Structure 1
Amino acid sequence: MKTFLLVLVLAVLTSFRAAAQVSVEITMDQEQFLPSEAVPVAVKITNRSGQQLHLGAAADWLTFSVESTDGFIVIKNAEVPVTGEFDLESSQIGIKRVDLQPYFQIGRHGRYKVIATLRIKDWSASVNSAPKTFDVVNGAKLWSQDFGVPGVTNSPPEVRKFTLEEANYLRLQLRLYVRVSDQSESQVFKVTTLGQMVSFSDPDAKVDRTSQLHVLWQAGAQVFNYALINANGEVVRQEVYNNAGSRPRLVVNEQGEVSVAGGTRRVKPEELPVVPVVPWVKAPGELPAKNTKNMLP
């Protein structure tokens, strides 16, 4: 019994010393998510030990635990893979980014907290981060439509569903989301935020002949955003239109192609022509005067 207590005390002291020399911090760009939306986190590791740390060699060098503050158990689907070995010198900061959503069942409405644990093999010690909380909220459905996924012919197509939802982010900003699920909505393939929208906006959505979703919505007083989403829920193109001359709107031609009519599209920086750099040449009046003192006649 005494031996066990001694080992336990030594382990606690080792972890305490490690935490004083190496810190682990979780940061998130946002703290509110829709069910099935990606939950990206960044783990910042700061080395103040005075020696180099070699990290990432073991599969469990950085692990995560997620708990619900409401009391229900959060099921872990698998360990979050954090790959790539690297050396962290003293006074340096290393950052690893992961998405928690595929590895934990966090689709239920409520508040959650996540903790990252860093294991330092050479020290036989581990360091925990402070808990970081985030919320999963339900959005309000605005529009939905079934569509067939393009694929092999001569067989029934896979049927999926596009759904547009809105959610009030931290009660300060209304955001528009797109969700791709199976027809029954029991399996969600992807949830993606499209951006900010005004409260009086009525998004226009149309599915083209290639089963891609076109969405046009008002994001400001005279600003409209456009997004093109494929069958997997990935945003493949985004544009911004000004309400200049006429209001932007989606139109469908006889071939089932969708385009934006009206308004004025903003030119993206990468679309601007490259201006060649012209070497600077002094004007004749700026040229230095000739030195005629030592010139031969």
Structure 2
Amino acid sequence: MNSRIFNLFLVFFCLILVGPEFSISAKAQVTATLELDKDQLLPRETFFVRLKVVNFSGQTLVFGEDNNWLQFQIENDVGEVIDPISEPPLVKGRFTVESSIRATKQIDLSSYYALEKAGRYKLTAKLFVKQWGKMLPVNPIKFNVINGSVLWQQMFGLPLKKDEPLSQPKQRRYVLQQAKNLRMMTLYVRVDDGPGGRVHKVSQLCPMVTFNEPVAQVDPVGDLHVLCQSGARTYNYSVLSPDGKIKIRHHYNIVGSRPRLGFKEGKIVVFGGLKLLRPDDIPSLKNNIDKPKLILPKATTNPIPVIREPFPDANKSK
């Protein structure tokens, strides 16, 4: 009897010891990593973070059933936590990750963290696995915020919207900045309310050469037109709205003459050069392809032609 009790106790003790190992083994077979497109950003630049989950646990995992399954935190180089300027992002949307499957979730963090100061930062995340009741560790990633040099800036008034009463126009500012990114000089556009005001958006526009500065003009509706030499013989032409959205992106080659901005019928257009067709054009080239016209038969019926049997060649019969 005593030996039986001892054996039961031994089995129970072994289960206690082995149980955590099973849990650790399962968690070790699920990895989560963070990725950034680049490790250098301008202050308040738009940046997307990708979370990649690889599942080899043998179980189907479910995420996104609540708004707390993924949490982010940013620290500066001295370990101070950066407070978000708004509520932390709620990564919504339920999705499942089956075993031997990889899933990716992308989140824009620029609207939640105001990274104004240059320096080195660390981004960490916590991934909660609801089925296990455990937090899954996610390796942190580091990135730098650098100051770009200002090339051009212009204050402008926002045009009135439809049915909006007449009032003093709201002021905004376009700023062109250059900074080195991935060993090449890059042109950025910043849209804000002026010095010390709210920053609406900072976006990467295109690569640029150092020997020819970009040309920028604001049209009557408040759109920004930028012509920038992006290569030895290539130019980038972009049009941005007052909220920082890129409306048009075209590319030109130096053929015969250099591309330049000018006015035609009261509108800003590009003169000179040869316009290229590229897959990264905005609007997309795929949406602008003319569809072949559908040819419909006429309403009136034409008479069926009479086809006669050809006469034999007299020369061949001889």
TM-score between the two structures when normalised by the length of structure 1:
0.83
Deviation string, structure 1 residues 63-122 (Cα, Å, up to 9, x no partner)? 111111234431123222111111211111111100111122322111111112110112
Contact 1:70–1:111 under 8 Å retained in 2: no
Higher relative contact order (CA 8 A, sep 6+): 1
Larger CA Rg, structure 1 vs 2: 2
Separation of aligned partners in 2, 1:168 and 1:268? 25
Contact 1:179–1:191 under 8 Å retained in 2: yes
Contact 1:24–1:116 under 8 Å retained in 2: no
Corresponding letter in the other structure for 1:146: M
Identity of aligned residues (%): 37
Indicate yes or no: 2:209 matched with 1:198. Answer: yes
SS at match of 1:102: coil
Deviation string, structure 1 residues 235-281 (Cα, Å, up to 9, x no partner)? 100000111111111113573x21111111113463667799xxxxx
Gaps of at least 5 residues in structure 1 are 1-8, 277-297
Indicate yes or no: 2:157 matched with 1:148. Answer: yes
Classify 1:12/1:206 alpha carbon distance in 2 versus 1 (closer, same or farther; 3 Å).
Answer: farther
Classify 1:144/1:11 alpha carbon distance in 2 versus 1 (closer, same or farther; 3 Å).
Answer: farther
Contact 1:15–1:125 under 8 Å retained in 2: no
Match of 1:98 among 101, 107, 115: 107
Partner in structure 1 of residue 45 of structure 2: 37
Deviation string, structure 1 residues 171-228 (Cα, Å, up to 9, x no partner)? x110000111003342110011101001112100001111110000111111111000
Partner in structure 1 of residue 255 of structure 2: 244
Classify 1:144/1:13 alpha carbon distance in 2 versus 1 (closer, same or farther; 3 Å).
Answer: farther
Contact 2:189–2:205 under 8 Å retained in 1: yes
Indicate yes or no: 2:43 matched with 1:73. Answer: no
Contact 1:249–1:262 under 8 Å retained in 2: yes
Contact 2:122–2:140 under 8 Å retained in 1: yes
Separation of aligned partners in 2, 1:214 and 1:222? 20
Partner in structure 1 of residue 224 of structure 2: 213
SS at match of 1:103: coil
Which range moves more in the overlay, 105-114 or 214-223? 105-114
Which range moves more in the overlay, 258-267 or 74-83? 74-83
Indicate yes or no: 2:142 matched with 1:130. Answer: no
SS at match of 1:19: helix
How far is the alpha carbon of 1:14 from its aligned partner? 8.2
SS at match of 2:111: helix
How far is the alpha carbon of 1:164 from its aligned partner? 0.3
Separation of aligned partners in 2, 1:54 and 1:212? 44
Indicate yes or no: 2:236 matched with 1:225. Answer: yes
Residues matched between the structures, number: 266
Partner in structure 2 of residue 258 of structure 1: 268
Which range moves more in the overlay, 196-205 or 63-72? 63-72
Match of 1:83 among 85, 88, 92: 92
Corresponding letter in the other structure for 2:194: Q
Contact 2:73–2:82 under 8 Å retained in 1: no
Partner in structure 2 of residue 58 of structure 1: 66
Gaps of at least 5 residues in structure 2 are 1-16, 280-284, 294-318
Partner in structure 1 of residue 172 of structure 2: 160
Separation of aligned partners in 1, 2:171 and 2:24? 54
Classify 1:64/1:12 alpha carbon distance in 2 versus 1 (closer, same or farther; 3 Å).
Answer: farther
Corresponding letter in the other structure for 1:252: F
Q: What value does the CA root-mean-square deviation take over the aligned residues?
A: 2.4
Separation of aligned partners in 2, 1:225 and 1:74? 36
Classify 1:15/1:30 alpha carbon distance in 2 versus 1 (closer, same or farther; 3 Å).
Answer: farther
Contact 2:74–2:81 under 8 Å retained in 1: no
Corresponding letter in the other structure for 2:38: Q
Contact 2:73–2:81 under 8 Å retained in 1: no
How far is the alpha carbon of 1:21 from its aligned partner? 2.3
Indicate yes or no: 2:128 matched with 1:116. Answer: no
Separation of aligned partners in 2, 1:203 and 1:17? 56
Separation of aligned partners in 2, 1:160 and 1:14? 58
Deviation string, structure 1 residues 22-45 (Cα, Å, up to 9, x no partner)? 111011111111111112110001
Separation of aligned partners in 2, 1:12 and 1:108? 44
SS at match of 2:277: coil
SS at match of 2:154: strand
Contact 1:189–1:233 under 8 Å retained in 2: yes
Separation of aligned partners in 2, 1:36 and 1:174? 19
